[in-house]
Structure 1
Amino acid sequence: MLKSFIVNNIRELEQLEQKLYESMDKTLSQISSEITSNYSQTLFSKMKFGGIGFDPLNSMRELNIIEQINQSFTYLASFYALEVLFTEFPELAPFKLNLGTAPGSDIESECGELSAEVFASVTPTNNQKLKKDIDKVLATEARLKFVFFICPNFELGRQPQLERDNVVVWALRGANKL
């Protein structure tokens, strides 16, 4: 399911974030009821293969919890990155947000001046994610190029020690401080 959105302002961003939290809350309720009525093997099977979890932006669409967790944190990272961009570069709004497998950079300014990749991971070097995202954003024609990430043990803000080729690397709210 392709998910691309034009986000014009912080208010629209907050609405997307609210949908994500609604899905998380619904999944938590599901786990609470399942945990008392199932054996561990049944519960874990439902978590892996379906029966527990929802699409992060559509709490009516079932999704296994493993995918929900992965998508939720990537989406949150994108939302936090947009907060930074709306604050630092409001003149470049609106922004196009490409979630999941939607084509294009994860975040693009509609005017074409900015391109950003976004991820959530245990470390920025896990599966060479940072390197791959820098390479991906370098392949764009945008004047301003960013990689944003959520990882534990990073302070919010720019990470010059991880930057190369004029791509700005920015740590978002730490995974342990969400």
Structure 2
Amino acid sequence: MLKSFTVKDIEELKQLEQKLYESMDKTLSQISSEITSNSSQTLFSKMKFGGIGFDPLDSKRELNIVEQINQSFTYLASFYALEILFTEYQELAPFRLNLGTAPGSDIESECGELAAEVFAAVAPTSNQKLKKDINKVLETNAKLKFVFFMCPNFKLGRQLKFERDDVVVWASKGANIL
């Protein structure tokens, strides 16, 4: 399912975040009820193959929990990146958010001046994700190029040690909730 849409301001962003948390809460309730009535094998099967979990932005659409977790944290990383962009580059808003397999950079300013890639991982070097995202954003024509990541053990803010070729790299605040 392609998810590509424009986010105009922080208020719209907060609504998206609220949808994501509603899906998480619904899944938590589902796990609570399933945990007492199933064997571990059945529970794990439902978690992997379906029957537990929902689309992060549509709590009515079922999705296996493994996908929900992966998508939720990537979306959260994108939302935190947008927060920074709305704060630091408000004049470039609105921003297009391309989630999942939607084409284009993960975040783009509608005016074309800014492009950003976003990911959530255990470490920025996992699967060379940071390197690949820097290379991907370098292929754009945007003047301002960013990579945002959510990983445990990184403080919110710019990560100068990872920056190269004028690509700005930020760690988002989300992974610090772990």
Scaled by the length of structure 1, the TM-score of the pair is: 0.99
Alignment coverage as a number of residue pairs: 178
Give the letter for the 2:109 counterpart: S
CA distance in 2 between counterparts of 1:170 and 1:20 reads 22
The match for 1:176 is 176
CA RMSD of aligned residues (A): 0.7
Unaligned runs of 5+ residues in structure 2 are none
Give the letter for the 2:69 counterpart: I
The match for 1:41 is 41
The match for 2:143 is 143
- Residue 101, structure 1, aligned to residue 101, structure 2: yes
Scaled by the length of structure 2, the TM-score of the pair is: 0.99
Contact 2:96 / 2:108 at 8 angstroms: preserved in 1? yes
Unaligned runs of 5+ residues in structure 1 are none
Contact 1:116 / 1:147 at 8 angstroms: preserved in 2? yes
Q: Once superposed, which parts of structure 1, at least 4 consecutive aligned residues long, lie more than 4 Å away? A: none
CA distance in 2 between counterparts of 1:8 and 1:70 reads 25
Q: Deviations over 1:104-123 (max 9, x none)?
A: 00000000000000000000
CA distance in 2 between counterparts of 1:123 and 1:135 reads 18
Give the letter for the 1:148 counterpart: F
CA distance in 2 between counterparts of 1:148 and 1:176 reads 14
Q: Deviations over 1:17-65 (max 9, x none)?
A: 0100000000000000000000000000000000000000000000000
Q: CA deviation at 1:174?
A: 4.5
Contact 2:77 / 2:174 at 8 angstroms: preserved in 1? no
The match for 2:8 is 8
Partner SS, residue 96 of structure 1: strand
Contact 2:155 / 2:176 at 8 angstroms: preserved in 1? no
